[in-house]
Copies of this chain bind each other. A is one copy, B any other.
Amino acid sequence: MPRYKITIEYDGTNYCGWQIQKNHPTIQEKIENSISNIIGKKIPIIGSGRTDAGVHAIGQVAHFDLEKNFDIFKLQMAINHFLKQEEISIIKTEISPDNFHARFDASERIYQYKILNRRSHPAIDKNKFYHIAHDIDIDLMQKTANYLVGKHDFSSFRDAECQAKTPIRIINYIKFNKIGDIIIIEISGASFLHHMIRNIVGTLIYFSKKNLLAEKIQDILAKKKRSESGPNVSAHGLYFYQVNYN
């Protein structure tokens, strides 16, 4: 029973996130439906991580088992055939070891948060950027972000509904890239708490807006309370960029 690993790109705007929900369109559901059209029965696919409603992906990864050996190019074409009307596309298909697990084996998850920083609202790519009309201080945001790198208790950046057993997480890096009026914030870690990235980005923007001292973010971390950090920024600026496996 071969195991397949797929890499998926999606525009999250019109979906209620990755994970299957009753009566709401989700990415996982659309891909499972497509595979069911090919093999004639429903099988589960396991994603490397959930994404919220509106969040996009450039490199989400999932695995599933099929009874038959498929040519990977033909299999990908067939799955994509039933996804043509969706904003979901399988961009890579591989045969993986039988014990590969898209979620448990992931050693690094990389997210990007995209900001359009100009006076006018976005027209092209309306739901692809978070829009900030005022000037922002990227140097201050980078300096502030550097205090979050490493192993910390991220309770202050954790959504109330987060079901993780521990609030301890390790951030490998947070880096900023500015191309014209687009700012891309890239965050890498093994895994993240619910809303952690959007809460971090919101807090960094808040620091820039209020011109706070970068080191002040250490106090926010230390207080371990969500109410201490900045507002959550919108889902449509967030991209699940890459998953790496050892």
Contacts and interface: CB of A to CB of B under 8 A. Distances in A.
Interface of A: 8-11, 56, 58, 73, 76-77, 80, 83-84, 86-91, 118-126, 128
A4 B125 CA distance: 26
Contacts of A76: 119-120
A59 to B, nearest CB: 11
A184 to B, nearest CB: 14
Nearest to A90: B120
Contacts of A80: 120-121
A11 B125 contact: yes
A13 to B, nearest CB: 9
A123 B77 contact: no
Contact of A123 (B11, B122, B124, B125): B11
A33 to B, nearest CB: 16
Contacts of A118: 91
A240 to B, nearest CB: 11
A63 B55 CA distance: 38
A124 B91 contact: no
Contacts of A126: 11, 87
Closest 7 CB pairs of A and B: A89-B123, A9-B123, A89-B120, A11-B124, A91-B120, A10-B123, A87-B123
Nearest to A126: B87
A242 to B, nearest CB: 14
A239 to B, nearest CB: 8
17 contacts: A8-B123, A10-B124, A11-B123, A56-B124, A76-B119, A80-B120, A83-B121, A84-B121, A86-B123, A87-B124, A87-B126, A88-B123, A89-B120, A90-B120, A91-B118, A91-B120, A125-B128
